[in-house]
Amino acid sequence: YNAIPDGYPQPGKHVIYDDSETIDLDNVPLNGGILFKILVLSIDPYLRNRMRDPSVRGFMPPFVVGTPLQNGGVAQVVRSEDPTYAAGTYVSGSFLFQEYVVANASDVSGLRPVQTKGKLTLSAHTGVAGMPGATAYTGWKEYAKPKAGEVVFVTAGAGCVGATVIQLAKADGLKVIGSAGSDDKVEYMKSVGADVVFNYKKTKVADVLQKEGPIDIYWDNVGGDSLDAALVNCNKHARFIECGMISVYNGGETYQMKNLNYIYQFEIQLHGFIVLTLVPKYPEFFTEFADRVASGEIKYNEDVTIGLENGGAALEAIQRGKNTGKSLIAVADY
Ligand code: NDP
């Protein structure tokens, strides 16, 4: 991490690849810890939030300029002095953006062994069976309160979170409206079961919701004019699940909300949440839901960037909506 971005994060400027340090894999002291070989690192929209001026408040601490970025990933234990994690074990956890990491198990947040089974691949543990999938699953369980026949609107519906929400909503018998920013993404939303799909760059959100709504649930990944359109096109007691607002992550002109007064008029329930808070309440995500992924019932797609040196480009791409599916870096063969 090289500099705080003032707009979109640019590879080579805000994020650089530095290969000046090497680790002697055979001899590096472990001090009771583990040598991990990083296989996959997750690229998520919120990383931009951590690339901020330290004086600005946020839900996670800002990254420190001059140190590696950090995020969820999958690794293999190469050497270990920790009896819980034998050499060869595959794990997921939060790792520095490096090819190898030496750490004690207690210093890797979320560290746990992972397995593969059917469609539940190693990389899926960074996506549909990992943090973004858990976001969809736990947020939906906690706040959607769905009734068959109700109408839900999902933005960024072709991303990992959005596409998982679409499938959960269909399984609960809802009519699903999904929006995304390209025609390919629109097709993808249809392929995972959405009933009404559109490209918000070509069609006005408000027009679609007026025709296909009113909505009972809004799963918000973007904020801005989509949220404004949802407010004015919802039913009384609608649930708004405020998962993300990517339209404001990268600065630029901020959309001026016009319809906030509908929050009280329609007695809307607004639920903002962070996945880490909800996960402990839904342990079945790691068992029952993972089995639904393994069986192919819950579908997902991935956008794989090869090599840590290309991680900066992936970071910019997800902010610009250039990713199709779960964005991840294949740091090594897996
Ligand atoms: P996605 O793969 O969906 O990537 C983000 C997508 O957002 C882009 O591909 C792009 O798709 C869309 N986008 C970018 N800019 C805009 C814009 N200005 N207006 C509308 N859409 C835009 O990422 P995830 O599935 O990982 O995450 C989806 C959302 O969930 C994000 O907002 C993220 O921050 C949030 N999140 C929240 C968590 C929580 O704990 N609350 C945890 C994890 C994720 P398109 O081409 O369709 O525009």
| ipTM for the whole complex | 0.99
For helices 183-191 and 160-171, give the axis angle rounded to 10 degrees: 30
d(CA 198, CA 181): 8
CB of residue 165 inside a 6 A radius of ligand 1: no
In the chain, the percentage of residues whose pLDDT exceeds 70 is 100
Whose alpha carbon is nearest atom 8 of ligand 1?
321
Alpha carbon of 126 to ligand 1 centroid (Å): 15
- Probe residue for ligand 1, chosen from 59, 160, 221, 281 as the CB with the greatest number of ligand atoms within 8 Å: 221
> Would you say 51 and 1 are in contact if contact means Cβ atoms under 8 Å apart?
yes
d(CA 197, CA 188): 9
Alpha carbon of 274 to ligand 1 centroid (Å): 14
Q: What mean pLDDT, rounded, does the chain reach? A: 97
Q: Quick one: average pLDDT of 236-259? A: 96
Nearest atom in ligand 1 to the alpha carbon of residue 135 is 42
pLDDT tens profile 15-70: 999 999 999 999 999 999 999 999 999 999 999 999 999 999 999 999 999 999 99
What structural domains and CATH numbers belong to the chain? Answer: 1-127+301-334 (3.90.180.10), 131-277 (3.40.50.720)
Question: Which residue do the tokens 């931009």 mark?
Answer: 48
d(CA 265, CA 117): 48
Q: Is 49 left (phi over 0), alpha (psi -120 to 50) or beta?
A: alpha
Q: How many CA atoms within 13 Å lie on the side-chain side of 3? A: 10
Helices (H) and strands (E) in the chain, counts: 10, 13
Q: Look at residues 159, 222, 219, 152 and name the one whose alpha carbon lies nearest to residue 188.
A: 159
Q: Quick one: average pLDDT of 126-136? A: 98
Alpha carbon of 23 to ligand 1 centroid (Å): 35
C-alpha pair distances (Å), 331 with each of 17, 96, 147, 305, 322: 13, 12, 43, 9, 20
Residue 116's contacts (CB-CB under 8 Å, 6 or more residues apart) are 90, 122
Q: Are strands 70-80 and 34-42 parallel, antiparallel or unpaired?
A: antiparallel
pLDDT tens profile 259-274: 999 999 999 999 999 9
CB of residue 182 inside a 6 A radius of ligand 1: yes
d(CA 213, CA 21): 56
Question: Which residue do the tokens 């008029």 mark?
Answer: 265
* pLDDT of the residue at 172: 98
CB of residue 45 inside a 6 A radius of ligand 1: yes
Nearest atom in ligand 1 to the alpha carbon of residue 45 is 34
* pLDDT of the residue at 275: 98
Whose alpha carbon is nearest atom 9 of ligand 1?
321
